[in-house]
A and B are shown apart, each in its own frame.
Chain A
Amino acid sequence: MTIMTDVVVGDARKSRRIDWSPYLVGAGIGILSWVAFAGFGDPLGVTTAFSRVASLFAAPVVGSDVVAANSYWRSMPLKWDYGVWFLVGIPLGAFLSAIILGTWRLELVPEVWKERFGPSVLKRFVAAFLGGIVIMYGARLAGGCTSGHGISGGLQLALSSWLFLAVMFATGLVVSRLMFRKA
């Protein structure tokens, strides 16, 4: 426990030099939202566009006739709209920041995972893949993610989004407690 706190604190001290205050970053995202609303009429969001793109990957697996006949993709066909280009921008900006800050590093197994589940790359990849399935199914069922519901919906005081935030955090706390419980 002491060793672990040491690592966390040491990390924080080292990174304070290179990172902005989280409040500054949050304010920046808030101001970006003003531009998204007033300038583009399209609040920040990720997963709606993500499912448009997913239909591209679905065609070779389930067949393009199934994709064409699917009622969800009919209501949300693949098109290169605002949301999809926004998705393209996210990794570009993150890459730029990582290069400038020198924080780009290859990560196969993150520290928190390694401490609890060991260094197995396969184990981590399987968990990430399964977690990815569950998070995206949940996002589409709820109608948004941490960006679309959490930030864009939260700042509009939307009932749906505050329900999302409350249930998402509560579930995450419980699952995290179970997952990181000392065996």
Chain B
Amino acid sequence: MTSLMSIAGPILMGAVFGYLLQQGKVTSCNVIENQFRLRDFTVLKVMGTAIVVGGIGVLLLVDTGNTKYYVKDANMLAVALGAALFGIGMVVYGYCPGTALGAIASGSVHAAVGAFGMIVGAILYALSFDWVKAHILNVWALGKVRLPDITGVPDGVWFAALAIGAGAFFFWVEASEAKARRAQG
């Protein structure tokens, strides 16, 4: 039973995630490219809402002892370089790794071609890992820190600011989109 749950559980979680990505249109290369071209804000709407809703819930779950944080190491140079490569790759590929898996299943052949590229990228990273570890991962390595730790600003204030900031931003985006639609007739 436990072994069945340990397979069915994650498959179900992944399926719900993939279902939501597809429903939200973020498995579309056009939607992702147009986010970076600032013509379609679907990606930011999905991510921003997920971060605020997810973050407030996880904060409460941590505070009530129902889970803990799983924070990734702040190896600042590696994260900055990796994120820059990621940004380049995402615009050229038109997907990020998770949305690509969803796109393949909804008929995108070029996403499947890129998935082979992703396998090559993972292999290249493994092969270069010793050098990267010795020269990049250890630069400005600050550990598993959270913004409330380093700033002294409490979690609640961060989420209030994020929620208000995201709310105001999306309100402005919706208003601009409505105006553009009206201008189109």
Residues of A whose CB lies within 8 Å of any CB of B are 5-6, 8-9, 12, 15, 19-20, 22-23, 25-44, 46-47, 50-51, 53-55, 57-58, 61-62, 66, 70-73, 80, 82-98, 101, 103-113, 124-125, 127-177, 179-180
Assuming the contacts A54-B126, A107-B107, A112-B34, asked whether A94 and B18 have C-beta atoms less than 8 A apart, the reply is yes
Q: Which of B85-143 contact A (CB under 8 A)?
A: 85-111, 113-127, 129-130, 132-133, 136, 142
User: Could you say which of A46, A66, A109, A138 contacts B83, with CB atoms under 8 Å apart?
Assistant: A138
CB distance A90 to B14 under 8 Å? yes
CB distance B47 to A150 under 8 Å? yes
CB distance A107 to B109 under 8 Å? yes
CB distance B46 to A159 under 8 Å? no
Residue of B nearest to A175 (CB): B91
B55 within 8 A of A: yes
Residues of B whose CB lies within 8 Å of any CB of A are 6-7, 9-30, 33-34, 36-40, 42, 45-55, 57-58, 61, 66-76, 78-111, 113-127, 129-130, 132-133, 136, 142, 144-148, 150, 155, 158, 170, 180-181, 184
Chain B interface mostly helix, strand, loop or mixed? Answer: helix
Complex CA–CA separation, A149 to B54 (angstroms): 13
Cβ of A72: which chain B residues have Cβ within 8 Å of it? 125-126, 129
Complex CA–CA separation, A125 to B92 (angstroms): 11
CB distance B78 to A97 under 8 Å? no
Chain A: minimal CB distance from B101 (Å):
4
Complex CA–CA separation, A89 to B17 (angstroms): 8
Cβ of B110: which chain A residues have Cβ within 8 Å of it? 107-110, 124-125, 128
Chain A: minimal CB distance from B13 (Å):
6
Most chain A CB within a 10 A radius of its CB, from B34, B51, B74, B100 = B51
Residue of B nearest to A107 (CB): B108
Of the A-B pairs whose beta carbons lie under 8 Å apart in the complex, a sample of 11, sorted by A's number, is A9-B180, A23-B49, A30-B50, A51-B122, A57-B123, A72-B129, A110-B110, A133-B117, A141-B79, A160-B145, A179-B91
Chain B: minimal CB distance from A178 (Å):
9
Complex CA–CA separation, A158 to B138 (angstroms): 18
Complex CA–CA separation, A12 to B40 (angstroms): 10
Residue of B nearest to A89 (CB): B14
Cβ of A43: which chain B residues have Cβ within 8 Å of it? 70
User: Could you say which of B13, B57, B89, B146 contacts A158, with CB atoms under 8 Å apart?
Assistant: B146
Most chain B CB within a 10 A radius of its CB, from A5, A140, A165, A166 = A140
CB distance A93 to B16 under 8 Å? yes
Complex CA–CA separation, A137 to B122 (angstroms): 6
CB distance B78 to A154 under 8 Å? no
User: Could you say which of A70, A144, A179 contacts B92, with CB atoms under 8 Å apart?
Assistant: A179
CB distance B30 to A112 under 8 Å? yes
Residue of A nearest to B33 (CB): A112
CB distance A160 to B118 under 8 Å? no
Pick the 8 closest A-B CB pairs, nearest first. A89-B14, A132-B117, A26-B49, A135-B89, A142-B82, A138-B85, A30-B53, A131-B93
